[in-house]
Chains A and B, each alone.
Chain A
Amino acid sequence: MTPGKLDPTHPTPAAGESAGRLRIVVLVKQVPDTANVGGEAMKDDGTVNRAALPAIFNPEDLNALEEALRLRESCGGRVTVLTMGPPAAVQVLRESLYRGADEVILLSDRRFAGADTLATSYALAQAVRRLGPVDLVLCGRQAIDGDTAQVGPQVAEKLGLPQITCVSRIASVEAGGPAELHRTAGGAQRAIVATRSIEGGYETLRASLPALLTISAEANEPRPAGVKLVLTYKNVVAEAMPQYDDSYLDPESDVAEVCMVGRDGRPVCRAKVVQWDAHAIGAQEGTIGLRGSPTRVKDIESVVLAQAETRLVEPTADGVATLVRELVEEHILG
């Protein structure tokens, strides 16, 4: 199928885009703020109440967005931000608009639920394909809820793109590439030079475009939301394509804020966020969501700490000195 034919709101590259400009897609994720699990997020039995955790923009995805915006500033071009998640994930897209993204797309469908990294990468890759030729796909090094760092390389493989992971610095985008392998969106042969962190050092690589890079927190300091942009976009909602399956949306909740498109193909209200479901990206059955996921969670064990015998030492000179003497006598300290 040709997904492009399905959607009247399908974004097209801005007219007059020159060869020097970059078409950049940034993959982002809304994640529970696992780094700040406060007391209110704990249930009485000592397990985590996930619903009570605030949902945030995955930190290193903000670094990826920042790199995309800087590249647009230096080379010109267009930054599209894509996320897969429940309707509430529209919030990270709004925050992307606040920082200057040109276009944002929400991949949301009940059938995407339960996806592991493989099924996630399939859906994201299909969505990137639907956007047409791109020069760069950027994403955060990893997401804080799983820390797997797998989706980036898996999307690269699915799209047949070269990858540079764990990038701490993008040096330049330059003309020429190692070989005439890929036709870029602009038609010109270009390459990107980037530095990545490795154990005890770094390495610098050059990838012909198009390419996928995963960006680490070392790369930059993400810009804050722009005040004007916040005022412009704070009420944006997601606009679904005509045949959108809205069974996933909770009618009791307005959190989805999806703006439906009428039967006549005209949007019922103005929207900036385009929403795609599995049908829109031409996803094959059995490749998305839980069904498309090779891995299964067999067991989940909430962490309940075992009690250990801890000997308390007074935080005084005498207390500490006694401890040190003991450790020396036991040959723990030399």
Chain B
Amino acid sequence: MADTAHIRGPAGTGAAVSDAGEIWVWVEVDEGRAAEVGLELLGRARELADRLRSRVGAVVCGAGVTELGPALVAHGADTVYAADHPDLSAYLAQPYARVVTELIRRYAPQIVLYGATTAGRDLAPRVASALRTGLTADCTDLRIGGHHTSERDYDDLLWQIRPAFGGNIIATIVCPNHRPQMATVREGVMRLPEADETRDGRVLLVPVARAQAAARAGSQAQAASDRSGPVLLRPEDFAVALLERHKEAKRVDLKGARVIVAGGAGAGSAGGFALIRELADTLGGVVGASRAAVDAGWVPREHQVGQTGTTVRPKLYIAAGISGSVQHRAGMDQSARILAINTDPQAPIFSVAHYGIVGDVTKVLPLLIAAYRAKGGPDAARREGESPAATAVAKGPVS
């Protein structure tokens, strides 16, 4: 039998709950800590569940993950499904997919959300394929709404909203006839909810066991009705072994940065990025980058801002030589102040910028560095020499 532990009193307040299934979040656990994107998604799942009169489930896999239960409840989960087993200590696609797939078969949630981390993007499609349901990657918004077709009208579907086609369009994807509806979301897209230590919830210990024999062909799925038996990890689930994992002690903290100086193709070269770094260091900020700069190899991928990178909300975002694709803007347009520097007055980045400088990054950045070192003193800035006068910017919709 599954063990259940209540956290802070009995679960369930007696309010009417829809029978359409729960809203689930797979919360990645890394070195004993719940990934922040998982907590962010619990916050959005909470909003979706309130709208749908449903409940929020958090799924965690790992060794010793049961103790994360109270924190997950505090961030919005009503039930924490904890698959706590030594063989799940490190993330591996197959055993994790086995557990998540089996739990979805048993409890039939209507929505399952995953953080779009390397693990989430590895796991979610494997689960979607096993369940033959839909999956939308890198959503920038999730809403509840209807959908009309010639055959029937649907209420209360998950609208999975994402830029597509190189960011030239924004698509709303729905999954009308298959369950669960599944989506991945990048870190930082949803706001981290405040932990509410007084929330009620429960932790359900998912029994997990190693099966001695490989599954017979055609009998991969355990009987869905067998809710209480252990989830069986098969020998073939361990065809991949983790030999080594190396993580840098200090990660680039784009999300926590007050100031981000981000460079793009307009930085021109890896050498041009030295100026970006110098300005970031001078301002006490962090280096960001557009995808173009990352793809060019000028800066590691962990610096990437945007839909497929990190979503940021600093007090000041300086976009240097970044043209501003939809995907990039989706990752930074909530910044308190945006300064765009670009030689092209038509660059889309100016459409979200509070301040614009039309000019060459290699000329403007030294002026900024000098001006800040002098704390706005005009004399210090002038020593760096004058740049050509600005050209008037013809502003208008640019796509």
Tell me the A residues contacting B by CB distance below 8 Å.
Answer: 32, 34-35, 37, 42, 46-48, 50, 116-118, 121, 144-154, 156-158, 160, 162-166, 177-179, 181-182, 193, 196-208, 211, 217, 293-325, 327-328, 332-334
Contact = CB atoms under 8 A, between A and B. Distances in A.
A324 B246 CA distance: 40
12 contacts: A150-B137, A151-B125, A165-B122, A178-B240, A178-B241, A204-B243, A294-B134, A303-B170, A310-B340, A311-B356, A314-B389, A323-B339
A205 B315 contact: no
Interface of B: 93-94, 97, 117-119, 121-126, 128-130, 132-138, 147, 149, 159, 163-178, 214, 235-236, 238-248, 251-252, 258-259, 283-284, 295, 301-302, 307-308, 315-316, 326, 336-337, 339-340, 348, 350-360, 363-364, 367-368, 370-372, 374-378, 380-390, 393, 395-399
B390 A314 contact: yes
Closest 4 CB pairs between A and B? Answer: A34-B166, A325-B376, A315-B359, A294-B134
Contacts of B284: 334
A308 to B, nearest CB: 5
Contacts of A178: 238-241
B130 A295 contact: no
Contacts of B239: 162, 177-179, 181-182, 207-208, 211
Nearest to A302: B169
Given A318-B378, A321-B381, A312 B357 contact: yes
Nearest to B239: A162
A199 B118 contact: yes
A202 B395 CA distance: 44
Nearest to B353: A310
Nearest to B235: A179
A189 to B, nearest CB: 11
B242 A32 contact: no
B41 to A, nearest CB: 16
B137 A324 contact: no
A117 B163 CA distance: 16
B240 A321 contact: no
A46 to B, nearest CB: 4
A156 B126 contact: yes
B388 to A, nearest CB: 7
Contacts of B354: 308-311
A317 B386 contact: yes
Contacts of A208: 239-240
Contacts of B364: 315, 320
Contact of A315 (B138, B163, B367): B367
Contacts of B390: 312-316, 319
A34 B295 contact: no
A114 to B, nearest CB: 13
Contacts of A182: 236, 239
Given A147-B138, A203-B242, A166 B118 contact: yes
A325 to B, nearest CB: 3
A208 B58 CA distance: 32
A200 B351 contact: no
A298 B172 contact: yes
A303 B129 contact: no
Contacts of B136: 295
Nearest to B340: A310
Contact of A201 (B117, B169, B247): B247
A307 B393 CA distance: 13
Nearest to A210: B239
A326 to B, nearest CB: 8
A323 B355 contact: yes
Q: Counting chain B CB atoms within 10 Å of each CB, which of A160, A166, A302, A327 scores highest?
A: A327
A118 B173 contact: no
A303 B350 CA distance: 15
Given A148-B137, A198-B245, A205-B242, 10 more contacts: A34-B168, A117-B125, A121-B129, A150-B121, A165-B118, A181-B214, A201-B248, A315-B388, A317-B370, A324-B375
B134 A299 contact: no
A81 B261 CA distance: 42
B376 A46 contact: no
Q: Counting chain A CB atoms within 10 Å of each CB, which of B136, B166, B302, B336 scores highest?
A: B166
Contacts of B244: 203-204
Given A154-B128, A178-B238, A321-B381, A145 B166 contact: yes
Contact of A147 (B137, B371, B389): B137
A296 B129 contact: no
Nearest to A121: B129
B251 to A, nearest CB: 4
Contact of B172 (A179, A181, A299, A310): A299
Contacts of B248: 200-201
A328 B376 contact: yes
Nearest to A306: B351
Given A302-B168, A313-B357, A162 B173 contact: no
A162 B399 contact: no
A278 B185 CA distance: 33
Nearest to A193: B243
B121 A165 contact: yes
Contact of B316 (A301, A313, A332): A332
A162 B94 contact: yes
A42 B258 CA distance: 36
Contacts of A150: 121, 124-125, 128, 135, 137
B174 A298 contact: yes
B391 to A, nearest CB: 9
Q: Counting chain A CB atoms within 10 Å of each CB, which of B129, B133, B170 scores highest?
A: B129
A182 B173 CA distance: 38
A42 B231 CA distance: 53
A122 B135 CA distance: 14
Given A164-B240, A305-B397, A202 B214 contact: no
Nearest to A201: B247
B171 A300 contact: yes
A105 to B, nearest CB: 22
